[in-house]
Homo-oligomer: A and B are copies of this chain.
Amino acid sequence: MNLVEQMDRIFYPRSVAVVGASANPEKMGFMCVGNLLEAGFGGKVYPVNPGISELFGLEVYPSVAAIPGEVDLAMVVIPAELTLSAIEECVAKGVKGAILISGGFGEVGTGIGADLQAKLKDIADKGGMKIIGPNTLGFINPRARLNASFQYTLSLSQIGNVAVAAQSGGTTIYITHALTNHNVGISKAIGLGNRCNLDFDELVSYFGQDKETRVIVLYVEGLDEPERLIEAARRVTKIKPIVVYKGGRGEEMSRATLAHTGAPAGDYALYEKAFREAGMLAVDSITEVVDTAKALAFQPAAEGNRVAILSVQAGPAIIMADKCREQGLALAEFSAATKSKLKKLASALNAVDNPVDIAWKSDDFNACRQMLKAVLDDDGVDAIIVAAVFYASNMELMRAVVDIAGEAKKPMTVCLDSPRGTAYAEINALEASGVPVFPLPERAVSGMAGLVKYGEIVK
């Protein structure tokens, strides 16, 4: 069984055992079983605990060995000192992957913890089993309705094409929730914790060939062998974008990341250089993770950096032009033919330079569609950003974006602001047509910058 087959079985298990299942609602062992059931997982769930006989109406087994059927995935939520025998049992049972949620290993800074982790690795390596963690959250696979984590809110994630792998469970949650709040679906999201014998390079390789994944998001703190990730990324970035956010940037933070998941953070400048050379998109905040991943999840990469801005309001257009310049994007120069088309279509008051001023025409579907088409057809334009404040009449412009999206050969992003969710229907219509919507001008540019930078990488 190669890595891909094994990871497929882990992400699509036929059965999941929870070692340390508990009837106490405050315990992780209770939450893990509850989340599996509540998210609607269709496979078998086997709670394991020698002290109880039933949980949520399911039979509880005294040990993994006692489970009658095959077990593909195990979640292990017992004190660290008991994990060795549990992991041995899992190997003996033929389990493909064990999520080791328990802490108390490499991250605690004692010889005992590190020794224990080394022993676990040895057992798992020899037995051909993958350990996810220890000291981790677990993972979700929304397509399988599988929430194999202790965090119930992850069941609110929608099915999509962004894969998330993070060294921190907390950051996995923040990123996944933020993607959810921005209407971006998840293919898989996984916390790696101490990366006992499943590390970033393996996940990057796996997600690289995973048909359900279009964009890979990584949150990295420290790596023992950074060159393994860099090597995997160099291959995968040719076919899929990898957005990476590195935490633990100051020297003083190396101590914190060591205590967190057992690896010092290292020098960020070196990491950033290596990330960029491998074709990864290195970003500087979770907001930027979300905006970049969202644009790449919805739209093709840009063939160049010449951006056209079409905006109903001039102030936001000016902000977007500023941000384009900061991000290394150029404002496209329109051809004479385009300018003449726009001149005919726009209001006499409007600028037909870039940024194009749509004011006074935003309520005219046909004029908007033709202006969009004129700009899309211009050979000097690589990508388009469209912006409007939410206002009934401006929504004709947005209808035109939806209408032209199917035939557009160049990436588009939209900035559509909306107070208290009032533009819900309009945003959904745009995103259903494949055009990602961002709530603020700078963020529509940030998303577009991801499309332009990834375009440069694949060239």
Contact = CB atoms under 8 A, between A and B. Distances in A.
B174 A314 contact: no
Given A285-B440, A351-B259, A322 B174 contact: no
Interface string A174-209: 101110110000000000000000000000000000
A441 interface: yes
A431 interface: no
Contacts of A127: none
Chain A interface residue number, banded? 35 or more
Interface in A135-168: 151-153, 156-157, 166-168
A395 interface: no
A103 interface: yes
Contacts of A210: none
A322 B260 CA distance: 15
Q: For chain A, what secondary structure do more than half of its interface residues adopt (helix, strand, loop), or is it mixed?
A: helix
A313 B166 CA distance: 13
Q: Which of A172, A247, A257, A319 has the most CB of B within 10 A?
A: A319
Contacts of A442: 285-287
Given A178-B440, A256-B317, A170 B312 contact: yes
A318 B419 contact: no
A407 interface: no
Contacts of A234: none
21 contacts: A103-B349, A151-B389, A168-B318, A170-B316, A170-B389, A174-B316, A174-B440, A177-B418, A177-B419, A178-B417, A180-B420, A221-B315, A247-B318, A250-B321, A252-B321, A253-B322, A256-B355, A260-B315, A260-B318, A285-B440, A287-B443
Given A168-B313, A219-B315, 7 more contacts: A156-B422, A157-B419, A170-B389, A247-B315, A250-B325, A252-B321, A265-B318
Interface of A: 26, 103-104, 108, 151-153, 156-157, 166-174, 176-178, 180-181, 219, 221, 247-250, 252-253, 256-257, 259-261, 265, 285-287, 311-319, 321-323, 325-326, 331, 349, 351, 355, 363, 389-391, 393, 417-420, 422, 439-443
